[in-house]
Amino acid sequence: MSPNRVRAVAVLACAAGAGLALLAAGRTWTHVTVVRPAPLPALNEAKTGAALLPWLSALALVALAGAGALLATRGLVRAAVGVLLVLSGFGLAAGALSKLGVATPAWPVLTALGGLLVAGSGVLTMVYGRAWPGMSARYERPAGTATAPRGEAQIWDALDRGEDPTQ
């Protein structure tokens, strides 16, 4: 596969995994019944994955930001983003799987699956990330090429040439 396709797969897997983990962490994982003294009735509380493990949503948001960072970075910074994605992905999976006996299995399993997608995109980034292109600098003016026109006629001449006289 070409470097652009591998990058697209990594970014999409990261975004999909983070979105899946964020969605599943916000769903009801278990119901807790709190017994209260008579004559008060028992209180039935629904607990989401984010209520059971408050850091799940934060890790999913870190992974979602990492999907954008894969496009915006290059070199060692991109490799560091890959390591961060692996750690956050495995953190999501481990946290979700730790609650399997407590909660209904569907949402923790989906959270863990999302975490594994994020971790997989981090591994792809660490292995193939150096070959991926960075963001384009096509429309940026090279440093040191701008000369400021002095007079009004020079400003109009610069505009005629397509230059920006304000830089």
Residue ranges covered by each domain of the chain: 3-131
Rounded (5°) CA angle 11-86-24: 75
Answer yes or no: is pLDDT of 167 > 70.
Answer: no
Q: Answer yes or no: pTM beyond 0.75.
A: yes
Alpha-carbon distance of 47 to 90, in angstroms, equals 23
- Give the model confidence (pLDDT) of 46-102 as tens digits: 999 999 999 999 999 999 999 999 999 988 999 999 999 999 999 999 999 999 888
Alpha-carbon distance of 158 to 125, in angstroms, equals 44
Alpha-carbon distance of 97 to 122, in angstroms, equals 20
What does residue 142 show for φ and ψ, rounded to 5 degrees?
-60, 145
Alpha-carbon distance of 72 to 93, in angstroms, equals 26
Answer yes or no: is pLDDT of 150 > 90.
Answer: no
Alpha-carbon distance of 166 to 67, in angstroms, equals 36
pLDDT category at 103 given cuts 50, 70, 90 is confident
Alpha-carbon distance of 84 to 18, in angstroms, equals 13
Alpha-carbon distance of 114 to 60, in angstroms, equals 9
Q: Which residues contact 154 (CB under 8 A, 6 or more apart)?
A: 165
Alpha-carbon distance of 135 to 11, in angstroms, equals 14
